Structure 1
Amino acid sequence: MSPAEPVPAPPADGLRRRGTGLSLLRSEVVVLFGRVRTIALLGALALIPVLLAIAVRVTTEDASGGSSGGPAFLGDITRNGLFVSLTALTVAIPLFLPLTVGVVAGDTIAGEAGLGTLRYLLVSPVGRVRLLLVKFAGAALFCLAGTLVLVVFGAIAGAALFPVGPVTLLSGQTIGYGDYALRMLMMALYVTLSLLGLSAVGLFISTLTSVPVGAMAATIVLSTVAQIVDALPQLDFLDPWLFTHYWLGFADLLRYPVSWANFADNALLQGGYILVFGALAFGRFTTKDILS
């Protein structure tokens, strides 16, 4: 965009005023979580533990009436409804969470370009680097929000449909409500950290196109491919480099003592993806001609 080129006024209904620094981040969060699509994605995530709890409840009642029971691992939920949150995280992280994160991350830059608002954002004294950081921060906040929705609605559904009590860890020890709540919060933070690498990949892909649907699809496909590669024994040598490799490592929080090895390895791996794909996004976005 030439400095001498006149800039038309932004459309009245297509762009909200955005400042710099914290005000820009605040505006981004308001816009992101005010969208119907974002609310729908969070609502879909909230339905996962609710439907899971209802399905287990119905299956349990059918089994008590003489029909065949459900899968054996669901028995933990019937004995203690607090396990609904853990099961919901386990079910959601291979597909549903990456799908929603892919939608949000893929839309970060491409969505603005597709709407024709990206040019107007860069006219204000924001800077491309700051805009990239704010967009990534918004995607990271969505990762946290989506994970917390699963945990909170899982706890509510579990308490409503099943008895609750002290939780027995995978290592055999029993802990109280407060300790378990703290561990579930740490699980949510672990899962959020696990999704930051995918968010960085989506941000980079989003700088490559002005078609948000394409960026969303590419991000989700890469997540699926990484999990498939991670599951193939013939490609085990690639496992430590895949951003999906430690996604289920949060189960270590249900042991005593807690094993922190996966936490450190996961943080290092996700940090590497953030640095590499953040640098690629920076290189692409700062040299890109913004025409929309």
Structure 2
Amino acid sequence: MSRADVAVLDAPAARPNPLWTLGLFRSELAVTLRRWRTLALLGVLAAVPVLIGIAVRIETQGDGQGGGDGGGGPAFIAQITNNGLFLVFTALAATLPFFLPMAVGVVAGDAIAGEANAGTLRYLLVAPAGRTRLLLTKYATTMAFCLLATLVVAASALAVGALLFPLGDLTTISGTRISFTEGLGRALLIALVVAASLTGTAALGLFVSTLTNSGIAAMATTVGLLITVQIMDQIPQLHALQPYFFSHYWLSFADLMRDPVYWDDLVKNLELQALYVAVFGSAAWARFGTKDITA
């Protein structure tokens, strides 16, 4: 069955022109997750915690100490040998600046442009999908991938951490002790915050995807913008603009490991992502609403 047939079947005659249907979302999500490119991205993300865990294990065996001072690595890396749960936090800190947003940028950039390039975009709007409904479905699919990609990193890190290092009560950044169960709950909350931190990137990629009919061009542009913004976020002369860059508060999730939790930067991050979603989501809707799908 072709994607055009699936689109037709997912739009029952009893509900013409609905704003949202679960059937179309399931179809889009299944198509996205069946692509080899998506599976390869998830495989790379799952491999990062494995490499970090093995590297820390080898280093520990080599010097017989507890992981060094961690000064040259991601946050929490010095604590991994004491508690494998810290590998979850380290892996998310290591993948968030590049690997996770790159994966999301690839999926979001290909969302509309890939369909246009393959010639299937016009068929997805036949029955009776509607441009707004299709755009919302594409964004929801990208958001589902954000969550899945983040959970893949966290799950891989937890499994590797449990295999290579001890588990138990852990010490927060504030120096207090919390139980392993509470630490596991905070790890899940951190994964959700990291996924939410990618919502602005997803909206930006979707907007770029509406500007071109080339999936490769949209993906390359989105990833290029991600790299450019993060470089600009490290230039001291741009300090006045940096709080408005979507990546500026990404690593604020570390504040969830304080006791009590420090919420200021976390809230700023979520507010900033909401602003990017509103701006670039509206821009994508305005652009897609006038896009010539017959060309």
TM-score (norm 2): 0.91
2:43 partner letter? G
Map 1:151-190; keep pairs closer than 5 Å: 151-190=154-193
- Count how many residue pairs are aligned between Structure 1 and Structure 2: 278
Deviation at 1:15, TM superposition (A): 4.3
Structure-2 separation of matches of 1:28 and 1:108: 10
For the 8 Å contact 1:107–1:206, the answer to whether it is kept is yes
Q: 1:86 aligns with which of 86, 89, 94?
A: 89
Deviation at 1:14, TM superposition (A): 5.9
Map 1:1-292; keep pairs closer than 5 Å: 13=2, 15=4, 17-18=6-7, 19-20=10-11, 21-64=21-64, 71-73=68-70, 74-291=77-294
Deviation at 1:179, TM superposition (A): 0.6
Structure-1 separation of matches of 2:30 and 2:143: 14
Deviation at 1:165, TM superposition (A): 1.4
Structure 1's 190 and 16: CA in aligned 2 closer, same or farther, altered over 3 A?
A: farther
Structure-1 separation of matches of 2:78 and 2:236: 30
For the 8 Å contact 1:252–1:259, the answer to whether it is kept is yes
**Can you list the C-alpha shifts for 1:7-57, whole angstroms capped at 9, x where unaligned?**
xxxxx6564512241111111111111222211111110000011101111
Deviation at 1:185, TM superposition (A): 1.0
1:259 partner letter? Y
**Can you list the C-alpha shifts for 1:102-151, whole angstroms capped at 9, x where unaligned?**
11010100111111100101111010001000000111111111111111
For the 8 Å contact 1:190–1:250, the answer to whether it is kept is yes
Deviation at 1:263, TM superposition (A): 2.2
Deviation at 1:291, TM superposition (A): 1.9
For the 8 Å contact 1:49–1:154, the answer to whether it is kept is yes
Structure-1 separation of matches of 2:184 and 2:228: 33
Deviation at 1:62, TM superposition (A): 1.6
Deviation at 1:281, TM superposition (A): 0.7
Structure-2 separation of matches of 1:84 and 1:75: 10
TM-score (norm 1): 0.91
1:72 partner letter? D
For the 8 Å contact 2:167–2:180, the answer to whether it is kept is no
Corresponding residue for residue 16 of structure 2: none
Deviation at 1:182, TM superposition (A): 1.1
> Runs of 5+ in structure 2 lacking a partner?
12-20, 71-76
Structure 1's 16 and 184: CA in aligned 2 closer, same or farther, altered over 3 A?
A: farther
Structure-2 separation of matches of 1:69 and 1:285: 54
Structure-2 separation of matches of 1:110 and 1:93: 25
Structure-1 separation of matches of 2:33 and 2:97: 23
Helix, strand or coil at the partner of 1:72: coil
Of stretches 19-28 and 97-106 in structure 1, the one that deviates more from structure 2 is 19-28
Structure-2 separation of matches of 1:91 and 1:33: 24
Structure-2 separation of matches of 1:159 and 1:17: 42
Structure 1's 157 and 69: CA in aligned 2 closer, same or farther, altered over 3 A?
A: closer
Structure 1's 16 and 85: CA in aligned 2 closer, same or farther, altered over 3 A?
A: farther
Structure 1's 71 and 213: CA in aligned 2 closer, same or farther, altered over 3 A?
A: farther
Deviation at 1:75, TM superposition (A): 3.0
For the 8 Å contact 2:67–2:80, the answer to whether it is kept is no
> Runs of 5+ in structure 1 lacking a partner?
1-11
